[in-house]
């Protein structure tokens, strides 16, 4: 059917077929007509222009100015690689097409293709643009699996999702729809009609140029602005534009033991000081705290020995406790200045994070050291005279044995001395043979001196008193016994006299009884 329609169309070339003389009267063949009208100039690849004169189910007949119409199949009208292509044409529309095949003979045909012409023209435009520029601009069309389809000079191209952004960064292709994008060609294949582009290569080149410029101009000590991109347990990453730098946790604040999330928030703008730059490794170390004055620069003017300050215990170690008295300024309470009594470790008295009051003992700004005292503000000796007086007996604990006596703990923070001469009423040449550490004993207070922080005690005084009491007891017993022995004869004589007296005595009752009997 199609072939018959094509033959019918070819017989009507020029609209004059009905006026031709009978074949027997005119012996000119189709080849002679084609030769006569120059159809030999029509060849494969030639671009022709004509008017659509008829349409069929399979395509359109096109008057291309020759005695033989061209046939444009529907499949040759457009192709998916063409962008923004026209809809199907109507009779009377002018079209441009490319000759794809010429058949000579009695059934001469000229087959046309519109999309191949447009493809070749647009492809040539693309190649010309790529010859003069490494990059071209395309427009995002639609998101597909694995990437983005783009319009490149009227042809569909493809950008893989891995080439939409810098390596390691993910991006949604939808954001590029209807947006102009600068790209580099990755691959092109005219025969397979394949175009693949990359945006990442341009971004990486731009970033490399920006990094080069950055490292050429930035040096240690510079103050920069950036945006916090991520927060970790060891520090904060800050975006400086072409590169990200790390602010170590120790450089976040002058204060100690801070949590990064308490100092900055993700997305917040911060000022940073450049500590070091490594162009080869593309690394840069930053500090936030050093954009602010060092508190040690003014601490010498604000803190003096003798001052009483409030602070927070930041750490406890074997030799003492560190206390932050101002943001970024820590002092040390030596273990000997924590308690008046003996302690094995500071944590027995102080806990990390505890708020306490301390007294400044010494300030060394050059060495950035401050000595603090805790026990000085909790001195039990200030009121010791109210609790202990000479002659008072107390229970004490032996804490240290020395040649000249024994030191004993009367209460936490208050120690006294029992001199060797006061340990026993008997002669003592070696204290350790009489007393042992941790022994709990009774002793008598002999002297209390709060100013000198001294208390003298005696065990001998108790022994002497006990001996006196014992001797007194013995004397009392002897006197009592002698008294009883002397009183016994007297009590016997008195008893006999009383009996005789009772026999010679007449009572009123006896008289009355006698009278009644009469």
- What are the pLDDT digits (tens) for 77-100? 888 989 977 688 889 889 999 898
pLDDT for 209 beyond 80: yes
Tens-digit pLDDT profile for residues 103-156 = 777 677 888 999 999 999 999 999 999 998 889 999 999 999 999 999 999 999
* pLDDT on residue 496: 55
**Nearest one of 258, 255, 260 to 328, comparing CA atoms:** 255
**What's the CATH code, domain 133-204?**
2.40.50.140
pLDDT (mean) for 218-225? 92
**Nearest one of 392, 404, 379, 386 to 447, comparing CA atoms:** 392
User: Residue 502's pLDDT band (boundaries 50, 70, 90)?
Assistant: low
* pLDDT on residue 25: 38
DSSP states of 14-40 as a string?
GG-GGGPPPTTT----HHHHHHHTTGG
**Angle at the Cα of 10 (from 6 to 13), degrees rounded to 5?**
140
Rounded distance between C-alpha atoms, residue 185 and residue 199, angstroms: 9
pLDDT for 504 beyond 60: no
User: Residue 65's pLDDT band (boundaries 50, 70, 90)?
Assistant: confident
CB 182 within 8 A of CB 134: no
CB 9 within 8 A of CB 69: yes
pLDDT for 13 beyond 80: no
Rounded distance between C-alpha atoms, residue 244 and residue 169, angstroms: 14
Higher-confidence residue: 413 or 353?
A: 353
Rounded distance between C-alpha atoms, residue 294 and residue 275, angstroms: 15
Rounded distance between C-alpha atoms, residue 197 and residue 71, angstroms: 36
pLDDT for 508 beyond 70: no
User: Which helix (H) or strand (E) covers residue 499, if one does?
Assistant: helix 460-504
Q: Is the dihedral of CA 427, 432, 436, 437 positive or negative?
A: positive
Q: H-type helices in 145-275, by residue range?
A: 200-217, 260-263
Rounded distance between C-alpha atoms, residue 109 and residue 390, angstroms: 139
CA 317 to chain CA mean position, Å:
27
**What's the CATH code, domain 46-81+93-132?**
2.40.50.140
User: Residue 490's pLDDT band (boundaries 50, 70, 90)?
Assistant: low
Rounded distance between C-alpha atoms, residue 117 and residue 46, angstroms: 9
Q: Which residues pair with 228 in a beta bridge?
A: 238
Fold classification of 218-291 (topology level): OB fold (Dihydrolipoamide Acetyltransferase, E2P) (2.40.50)
CB 37 within 8 A of CB 21: no
Q: Which residues pair with 332 in a beta bridge?
A: 322, 371
In the chain, where the domains are located: 46-81+93-132, 133-204, 218-291, 295-373, 382-463
CATH of 382-463, one of 2.40.50.140, 3.40.50.720, 3.90.1150.200, 2.40.240.10: 2.40.50.140
pLDDT (mean) for 277-295? 89
Q: Do the two domains 295-373 and 382-463 of this chain adopt the same fold?
A: yes
pLDDT (mean) for 416-440? 91
Q: Is the dihedral of CA 175, 177, 179, 181 positive or negative?
A: positive
pLDDT for 192 beyond 70: yes
Q: Which of 140-154, 271-285, 299-313 has the lowest mean pLDDT?
A: 299-313
* pLDDT on residue 493: 58
* pLDDT on residue 495: 57
**Nearest one of 150, 168, 148 to 160, comparing CA atoms:** 148
In angstroms and rounded to an integer, the radius of gyration of the C-alpha atoms of the chain is: 59
- Nearest 5°: phi and psi at 181? -130, 135
**What's the CATH code, domain 295-373?**
2.40.50.140
Alpha carbon separation from 145 to 68, 142, 149, 188, 436 (Å, rounded): 47, 10, 10, 20, 87
pLDDT for 367 beyond 80: yes
Tens-digit pLDDT profile for residues 440-453 = 999 999 999 988 88
Rounded distance between C-alpha atoms, residue 436 and residue 397, angstroms: 10
pTM recorded for the entire structure:
0.51
């Amino acid at each position: 059917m199609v072939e018959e329609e094509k033959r019918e169309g070819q017989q009507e070339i020029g609209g004059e077929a009905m006026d031709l003389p009978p074949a027997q009267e005119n012996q000119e063949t189709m080849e002679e007509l084609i030769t006569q009208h120059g159809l030999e100039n029509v060849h494969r690849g030639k671009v022709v222009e004509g008017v659509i004169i008829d349409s069929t189910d399979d395509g359109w007949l096109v008057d291309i100015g020759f005695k033989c119409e061209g046939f444009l199949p529907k499949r040759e009208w457009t192709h998916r690689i063409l962008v923004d292509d026209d809809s199907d044409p109507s009779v009377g529309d002018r079209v441009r097409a490319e000759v794809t095949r010429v058949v000579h003979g009695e059934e001469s045909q000229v087959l046309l293709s519109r999309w191949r012409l447009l493809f070749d023209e647009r492809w040539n435009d693309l190649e010309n643009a790529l010859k003069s520029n490494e990059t071209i601009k395309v427009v995002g069309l639609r998101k597909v699996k694995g990437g983005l389809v783009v319009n490149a000079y009227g042809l569909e191209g493809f950008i893989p999702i891995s080439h939409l952004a810098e390596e390691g960064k993910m991006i949604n292709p939808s954001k590029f729809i209807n947006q102009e994008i600068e790209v580099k060609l990755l691959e092109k294949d005219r025969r397979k009609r394949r175009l693949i582009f990359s945006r990442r290569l341009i971004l990486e080149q731009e970033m490399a140029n920006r990094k080069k410029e950055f490292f050429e101009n930035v040096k240690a000590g510079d103050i920069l602005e950036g945006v916090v991109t991520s927060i970790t347990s060891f520090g904060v990453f800050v975006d400086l534009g072409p590169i990200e730098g790390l602010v170590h946790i120790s450089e976040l604040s002058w204060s100690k033991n801070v949590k990064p999330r308490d100092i900055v928030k993700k997305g917040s703008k911060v000022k940073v000081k450049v500590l070091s730059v490594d162009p080869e490794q593309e690394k840069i170390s930053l500090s936030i705290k050093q954009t602010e004055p060092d508190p040690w620069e003014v601490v010498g003017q604000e803190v003096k020995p003798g001052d009483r300050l409030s602070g927070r215990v930041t750490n406890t170690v074997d030799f003492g406790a560190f206390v932050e008295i101002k943001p970024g300024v820590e002092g040390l309470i030596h273990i000997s200045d924590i308690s008046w009594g003996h302690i094995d470790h500071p944590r027995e008295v102080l806990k990390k994070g505890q708020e306490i009051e301390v007294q400044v003992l010494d300030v060394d700004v050059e060495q950035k050291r401050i000595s603090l005292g805790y026990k000085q503000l909790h001195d039990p000796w200030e009121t010791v005279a109210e609790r202990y007086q000479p002659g008072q007996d107390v229970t004490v604990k032996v804490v240290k044995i020395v040649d000249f006596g024994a030191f004993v703990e009367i209460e936490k923070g208050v120690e006294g001395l029992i001199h060797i001469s006061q340990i026993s009423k008997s002669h003592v040449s070696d204290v350790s043979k009489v007393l042992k550490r941790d022994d709990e004993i009774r002793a008598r207070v002999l002297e209390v001196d709060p100013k000198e922080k001294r208390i003298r005690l005696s065990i001998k005084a108790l022994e002497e008193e006990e001996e006196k009491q014992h001797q007194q007891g013995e004397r009392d017993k002897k006197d009592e016994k002698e008294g009883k022995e002397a009183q016994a004869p007297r009590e016997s004589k008195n008893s006999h006299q009383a009996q005789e007296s009772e026999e010679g005595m007449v009572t009123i009752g006896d008289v009355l009884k006698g009278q009644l009997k009469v």
